[in-house]
Amino acid sequence: MRKNTILIGMAAIALTLGSCGSNASEASGADSVATADSSASTYTVDAASSNVVWFGTHTVGTGDHNGTINITEGSLSIAGGNITAGSFVIDMASIKCTDSLPAEYLTKLHGHFAAEDFFNTAKFATAKFEITACEVKADGDNTHLISGNLTIKDSTKNISFPAKVAVGESLTATGTVVINRLDWGINYDKENMTLAEAAQKKLKNGVVSKDITLTINLTAKK
């Protein structure tokens, strides 16, 4: 009984810490996907030089992790030097941690990513981003503000983020956004757990922050 009480108390503290000071971009409901007109040029995403770099933390000082996810395909429509429409597919089964960690720990971590309570890659093998708007907007090194529908698992939310875009014979685009994973249902199924079970699983997980930083790196060619 004492053990369960301690676990519940520690989880409550962790949950409180995790709910404060979030820098995640506010996600909204899915928006209408942009469509290209007949004058637009099509650029095909180069999977070999495109990816998503992720960064996640723990809420109680137990460290952080970095990694990558492959982008497998996509296309962008370009008119007047600006992105007018487009989408790309993310291979969620390819998610990996690039930290210098023991092989055994990495294997467990990758298994955790693939599990049903996180990305459930057996059922949802891919994620997708579909552009809803792209505005030329200078902001430091960034040149554009990109908005789009991000689909992870069975949830679709609209997000916006600044990006550095360069268009010529090829296109490069890099942008960073912080998302709240709870908006996409990447969370333990607490409704089907007792409070003690939820506390234990929260502690076992290392108390992962709800915020995930994603840096999207795209290269596309005509």
Q: How far apart are CA 52 and CA 213, in angstroms?
A: 10
Mean pLDDT value across residues 101-115: 87
The proportion of the chain whose per-residue pLDDT surpasses 90, expressed as a percent, equals 54
Q: Which residues fall within 8 angstroms of residue 9, CB to CB, at 6 or more apart?
A: none
The DSSP letter of residue 27 is P
Helix-, strand-, coil-residue percentages of the chain, each rounded to 5 = 20, 50, 30
Mean pLDDT value across residues 119-140: 95
Domain-by-domain residue ranges, the chain?
24-188+207-221
User: If one looks up domain 24-188+207-221 in CATH, what number appears?
Assistant: 2.40.128.110
Q: Which residues fall within 8 angstroms of residue 162, CB to CB, at 6 or more apart?
A: 137, 139, 140, 142, 144, 145, 146, 175, 176
Q: Is the pTM of this model over 0.85?
A: no
Tell me what the pLDDT averaged over the chain comes to: 82
**22 — pLDDT class (breaks 50, 70, 90):** very low
